[in-house]
Chains A and B, each alone.
Chain A
Amino acid sequence: MSLTTDDVKRVARLARIAIDDQEAQATLAQFSGIFRLIGEMQSIDVANIEPMSHAQDVMLRLRDDAVTEIDQRAEFQSIAPQVEAGLYLVPKVIE
């Protein structure tokens, strides 16, 4: 499977990580080794096998629809980069 720097940049955009041309090249070089390793999976027959996402095949527990958390906004926001009036501030999205 052959990746290009365009693939690397596309994936970086999806992951919201800035990457310049030089880094994309370097990353591509390392990726070939890693994808060769991962490629070892491809030759195995996986027909009729259920995917395993969890070691113990448990069900998600349910609980009563009741409030259990307390309001800790002030404490949690005390370590935020920028807050005002209980809101987290970020660059304007909508003009």
Chain B
Amino acid sequence: MLHATLKTLSDGLAAGKFSSTEISKYFINKINKLNKAYNCFITLDEEKSLTQARAADALRAAGHAQPLTGVPIAQKDIFCAKGWLTTCGSKMLSNFVSPYDAHVIERFNAAGAVNLGKTNMDEFAMGSSNETSFYGPVKNPWDTTTVPGGSSGGSAAAVAARLAPAATGTDTGGSIRQPAALTGICGLKPTYGVVSRYGMIAFASSLDQAGPMARSAEDLALMLNVMAGFDARDSTSLLRDAEDYTGDLTRPLKGLRIGLPKEFVAEGVAPDVLKNIETAIAEYRKLGCEVVEVSLPNMALSVPVYYVLAPAEASSNLSRFDGVRYGYRAKDYTNLTDMYEKTRAEGFGAEVKRRILIGTYVLSHGYYDAYYIRAQKLRRLIARDFTEAFKQCDLIMGPTSPTTAFKLGEKAGDPVQMYLSDIYTIAVNLAGLPGMSVPCGFDGKGLPVGLQIIGNYFSEVRMLNAAHQYQLATDWHTRAPAGIDTP
């Protein structure tokens, strides 16, 4: 049970080896024992979870089970879940019990899955280390003096520590892939528009995407089957034929062309990380792939472009938090403006305020063209680079993160240093492409290294196939940190 994947849990439930109630209790028990060490969960509700588990068992008994019926899944606290405290890692929503379900939550409910609890995250998804949460930092289970990455740090740590077999995350500049890399698990950000953002608290609307985090490519596929699909309530949701993301996992990789952008190596990757990436690419050659060098000439611009666009969109999205209709309201204020200003000064943390201010600045009169519009134009250049590269290859690969997990507090004082840790992931969001990270080794300190796989638009099936074949030939994805096996 400790290392059970979604696949083994699903098969076990179908075979009657155990019930959803039993496995949910197992994980709840583990969380009760170990959450303090890692701080990955913000909210647990044993009664709600077990009610869902019992309903799932009843569904199964009546013959109506689907693949994920009865399987417990942790939900990033950015998804509104009806009746659940939904905080987005912020004091601003520390009292917000959501009156409705996000589309992603509805999907998992309809699939009969069990909500195991709400995971910790960087405040309003702004961060790369899970150190900005109002609820305290999350610790990386591989070394609790280090960060798990962010913003989906709670989800990543929960899966790595085997407190949940899988979890949901969101990714705006790397927030699924980077924590997956730093905690040695798998995470996937789908093509923009594939998963509905309805009920997913918005950070940067043109970049945000929800996605699965789990310990195998097959599990990611099982989750994506539940999460993907058109939703009329999200104006950016794409109407497409349904895909079975598990459909092509077993296809041999012979002839698959892998592109290695030369800019990925030029930007200062830690030697240990580079070594593991090279070993992973060698493995892919053994599996029959061709490897070609490609170029993404404008890649270096992606960090400045992102740190104009994302804060700009965030400043607009977070203007709704004003203490009027829900959430935190300041205790003392004189007039309406004062109420807004104090509520927001007290309710938001430092990083969130910083980004709102930057965003407001770049959108303001006199600066809009020089910053915001310019960034939008550079965004198109960055997206075009990928389109060109994909003429020569099927998948692009490289490091997910320039380093392995850094120490808590190490980068928290220098925002720019923190922003640079997203250098390999950000361009993927700007272009709206799908990206994933799978574990591919460890550094000299025993910290995980992630291999990033980037595909062309809507190529998740092929990416998952490539990851699955790699996972049949290697076992990095099965490794577990010490100290997680409680009596």
Contacts and interface: CB of A to CB of B under 8 A. Distances in A.
A53 to B, nearest CB: 6
A81 B329 contact: yes
Contacts of B338: 18, 91
Interface residues of A, number: 51
Interface string B336-376: 11111110110010000110111011101000001101111
A80 interface: yes
Interface in B367-388: 370-371, 373-381, 383
A46 B360 CA distance: 23
A49 B364 contact: no
B206 A55 contact: yes
B254 to A, nearest CB: 31
Interface in B77-109: 95-97, 99
The secondary-structure label for the interface of chain A is: loop
Interface residues of B, number: 70
A14 B344 CA distance: 12
Contacts of B416: 33-34, 36-37
B354 A27 contact: yes
B206 A16 contact: no
Given A16-B322, A37-B307, A55-B431, A91 B335 contact: yes
A93 to B, nearest CB: 5
Interface stretch (B230-238, B271-279, B444-452, B459-467): B230-238
User: Considering residues B335, B339, B361, which has the most beta carbons from chain A within 10 angstroms of its beta carbon?
Assistant: B361
Contacts of A75: 99
User: Considering residues B298, B307, B377, which has the most beta carbons from chain A within 10 angstroms of its beta carbon?
Assistant: B377
Contacts of B232: 61, 63
A17 B344 contact: yes
Nearest to A47: B377
Interface in A78-95: 78-82, 88, 90-93
B304 A39 contact: yes
B308 interface: yes
Contacts of B300: 40
A18 B342 contact: yes
A52 interface: yes
Contacts of A31: 357-358
A7 B361 CA distance: 9
Contacts of B96: 79
B383 A41 contact: no
A56 B192 CA distance: 8
Contacts of A39: 304
A14 B360 contact: yes
Nearest to B357: A11
Given A27-B357, A31-B358, A79 B383 contact: no
A67 interface: no
Contacts of A40: 300-301, 304
User: Considering residues B95, B324, B370, B414, which has the most beta carbons from chain A within 10 angstroms of its beta carbon?
Assistant: B324
Nearest to A51: B376
A15 B344 contact: yes
A66 interface: no
Contacts of A82: 329
Nearest to A48: B377
User: Considering residues A17, A37, A41, A92, which has the most beta carbons from chain B within 10 angstroms of its beta carbon?
Assistant: A17
B379 to A, nearest CB: 4
B193 A38 contact: no
Contacts of A76: 99, 325-326
B120 interface: no
Given A15-B357, A56-B193, A34 B307 contact: yes
B356 A15 contact: yes
Interface string A3-28: 00001100111111111000000010
A36 B307 CA distance: 11
B305 interface: yes
Given A17-B353, A91-B336, A60 B358 contact: no
B47 to A, nearest CB: 20
Interface of A: 7-8, 11-19, 27, 30-31, 33-34, 36-42, 44, 46, 49-56, 58, 60-61, 63, 72, 75-82, 88, 90-93
Minimum-distance CB pairs A-B, first 4: A55-B432, A51-B376, A18-B341, A52-B380
